[in-house]
Amino acid sequence: MEAAYSTDMAHDEAAISDEEIVKKIQRGDVERFGVLVERYEARLQRYAKKFLLDSDEAEDVVQETFIKAYVNIRSFDAARKFSSWIYRIAHNECINAIKKKQGKITLSLPDFDVLLPHVVADETTMRDAERKQTREALDRSLEKMDVKYREPLVLYYFEELGYQEIADVLNIPVATVGVRLRRGREALAKIIEHDV
Amino acid sequence: MTMKNTMENEPKKSAKEKILSAIANGQVTMRPRWHFVLRATLLALGVVLCALAVLYLGSFIAFTLRQTGVLFAPGFGLHGWFIFFRSLPWLLIGVAVLFLVVLEILVRRYAFAYREPLVYVTLGIVAIVIGGSVFIVPLQRAMFRATRHDDRSFSGQFYRAFGTPRFPDIRRGTVVSRTGNTFVMEDLGGTQMTVVIASDTRIAPFDANFGPGDVVVVFGNQDGNIVRADGIRIDRW
């Protein structure tokens, strides 16, 4: 199935939302899945590379993500955001890859910051320059960051997801996203200070 | 999903080509809709069953604490608290907590649950269980009355094991007769005992009067058929 799209078809598809495309795939138009792969491959590659810090592993994870997304596409509710859904699958695959690497089964207990309520932080509208600066600092210091804070920072600064979307990807309360981003920025500042 | 292994000897393809090729070859197929409907149904069923189990156990624990008189023990000072904690049905509480944990895990698969802090969801479940249990306790009492004489059924044995007197220093029974500072009471098993009210015996509610036909819970040590009451609680249940 080599998806050879005509120019007209390509234009049409560019205008269609992810959710609409998924509806078509669910109805049997499986070729459209290629459009979703085109749209998300680079993004998921970037996300997985920055999360796992390993390019080869990231490639495998992204392939598995798309496979699982296709296999389970009929479970997707088109009333929700497709991007959150596929990033959620990618997140799970990354976690599985990390656990496989560590070679042990760990009992994951709820994090303390998920247990208790927090004041919901406003999503700060960062200036572009500030965001770019943070992204560059993050790029240099990713491997030194705790996975717990690395992931929300990657999702926010590189994938440009909002708090609600990050909450859906990580299955945590929205307020906890704000807490982890704040703590992640603090940890990043300490790393930078230490390096200087 | 062994796409990687089968692709090893082929010329290097892009990820998109690999994925679409696997779909075209039938190596990966979509799960049918009924699979997800079944999964959602099983999840909902699991939540309902766990919730019912927690409700039943919660109400049964509340019933058994009242039926045996353990519920009133803390009203009689530090010793009463000691009796209370020692007499709690820990096995039942452990099983109820286990079901509660499973219920929490299942409920957190729903967006309305994981979007809120865990403590809110837990408190919500506990509030529903406590509220529901209050309504179900009379049903437990009816079940106890209906089955406690049934030696053959599991429910009869279960209700008898937890609902009848089983603690040496707490007794619940009906006053048969009263004379001054002593009265005779009969427990559920039909055993009669004489209870002596001493000058330091605490009676709750304070200064309440009681007589034949009233149900009382007596705390105190027993010597033969005589109980020296440390505390007496009139139960108007």
Q: Which residue of A has its CA nearest to B27?
A: A67
Q: Which of A66, A72, A114 sits opposite B118 (nearest CB)?
A: A114
B31/A72 touch (CB, cutoff 8 Å), yes or no? yes
Residues of A in contact with B17 (CB under 8 A): 2
B23/A70 touch (CB, cutoff 8 Å), yes or no? yes
CA angle B160, B164, B169 (to 5 degrees): 150
**Residue A172 CB neighbour total at 10 angstroms:** 22
Q: Do B89 and B61 form a contact (C-beta atoms < 8 A)? A: yes
A70/B30 touch (CB, cutoff 8 Å), yes or no? yes
Q: Which of B19, B31, B111 sits opposite A74 (nearest CB)?
A: B31
Residues of A in contact with B23 (CB under 8 A): 1, 30, 33, 70
Model pLDDT for residues A50-61, shown as the tens digit of each residue: 888 888 889 999
H helix or E strand, kind and range, residue B111: helix B111-114
Residues of A in contact with B2 (CB under 8 A): none
A116/B117 touch (CB, cutoff 8 Å), yes or no? yes
Using the Cβ of B29 and the Cβ atoms of chain A, whether some distance falls under 8 Å is answered with yes
The token pair that represents B188 in the structure block:
């559920």
B108/A171 touch (CB, cutoff 8 Å), yes or no? yes
Q: Which of B3, B28, B117 sits opposite A115 (nearest CB)?
A: B117
Mean pLDDT of A160-181: 90
Using the Cβ of A134 and the Cβ atoms of chain B, whether some distance falls under 8 Å is answered with no
Residue A1's pLDDT band (cuts 50, 70, 90) = very low
**What three-state secondary structure class fits B45?**
helix
Residues of A in contact with B114 (CB under 8 A): 171-173
Predicted pLDDT at B7? 47
Name the pTM for this structure: 0.74
Predicted pLDDT at B165? 59
Phi first, then psi, for residue B219 (nearest 5°) are -110, 130
Residues of A in contact with B120 (CB under 8 A): 117
Model pLDDT for residues A79-134, shown as the tens digit of each residue: 889 999 999 999 999 999 988 887 655 555 556 677 666 765 556 655 677 778 87
Model pLDDT for residues A179-190, shown as the tens digit of each residue: 999 999 888 888
CA angle B184, B186, B190 (to 5 degrees): 145
Residue A135's pLDDT band (cuts 50, 70, 90) = confident
Predicted pLDDT at A52? 84
Q: Do B19 and A66 form a contact (C-beta atoms < 8 A)? A: yes
Q: Residue B103 and residue A89: Cα distance in Å, rounded?
A: 24
Predicted pLDDT at A180? 92
Predicted pLDDT at B77? 80
CA atoms within 13 A on the CB side of A46: 14
B31/A38 touch (CB, cutoff 8 Å), yes or no? no
**pLDDT of chain B along its 237 residues, tens only?**
444 444 455 556 677 888 888 888 989 999 999 999 999 999 999 999 998 898 888 888 888 888 888 888 888 788 888 888 888 889 989 999 999 889 888 988 887 777 777 787 778 877 887 787 777 777 777 777 777 666 666 666 676 666 655 667 888 889 999 998 899 999 877 889 999 998 888 887 766 688 899 988 898 888 888 999 988 888 876
Q: Do B216 and B187 form a contact (C-beta atoms < 8 A)? A: no
Using the Cβ of A162 and the Cβ atoms of chain B, whether some distance falls under 8 Å is answered with no
